[in-house]
Amino acid sequence: MVTIKTLEDIKKMEEGGKILARVLNKVKDKVKPGVTTKELNQLAEKLIAEYGAKPSFKGYNGFPAALCTSINSVVVHGVPSDYKLKRGDLLSLDLGVFYKGFHTDMAITMGVGNISKEKQRLLNTTKEALNIALSQMKPGNTVGDIGNAVQTHSEAQGYNVVRSLCGHGIGHILHEKPEILNYGKKGKGTVLKENMTLCPEPMLTAGDYRLEKDKDRQGYKTKDDSLSAHFEHTVLITKDGNKILTKLD
């Protein structure tokens, strides 16, 4: 069921969103060659606790950590490990927090040190796809409008959108209805209404969009080992458009 949030709900989600953005921003600043993804997770867990929140992902469907760290061909749900980041890696950081009864969720992809023009272009296009998704998020539009806009932009740039995973509603439950696909037809699907809270999350691949489970049995990677990128925000639908609840400072 799609939930419409009350003003009190929204206030709590705004507070949680600010905590999440601050934590992820601090984790992002620690990314450099030689740092392990396990160290990044430890920092995220420490900061979340200091803010009086809880990690949304830890224990969710058996996931063992607070932070998803997905590298290069891994699109989402990569498990933190002793892997030392290498210069030129693409790293997706996906994090959720649970605060005052509500979840918020966000993701960014970044380069470790200097990266190639090819990798930077993928990052830029995926970030643009998120901004294009946001431009469609207003009352009266549909989730099909969002997916169609993301797909049209991404494929025009020579990339594919992941079809087996999607964005989602969010609130008391981490993954609420509606599903927000990164492809689709204009005017189709759930109609957006004021005070819905949603997580658009474009996931692009430089090659085939088909995925398979990674060796850690949690992450999803491209079948052809092509590069991938992923960006996400928690977004409130407002009377005149939308408000990002997880915007980085």
Structural domains present in the chain = 7-244 (3.90.230.10)
% the chain with pLDDT above 70: 99
Torsion, Cα 246 148 182 196, to 10 degrees, reads 40
Residue 10 CB partners (closer than 8 Å, separation 6+): 195, 197, 236
Distance (Å, whole) CA 68 – CA 30: 15
Alpha helices for 51-177 (secondary structure H): 117-135, 143-156
Q: How confident is the model at residue 1 (pLDDT cuts 50, 70, 90)?
A: confident
Mean per-residue pLDDT, 151-156 = 98
Would you say residue 249 has pLDDT above 80? Answer: no
Mean per-residue pLDDT, 98-121 = 98
Residue pLDDT, tens place only, 49-70: 999 999 999 999 999 999 999 9
What DSSP state is assigned to residue 190? P
pTM: predicted TM-score of the whole model, two decimal places: 0.97
What is the pLDDT, as a whole number, of residue 210? Answer: 98
Would you say residue 109 has pLDDT above 90? Answer: yes
Would you say residue 114 has pLDDT above 90? Answer: yes
What is the pLDDT, as a whole number, of residue 39? Answer: 98
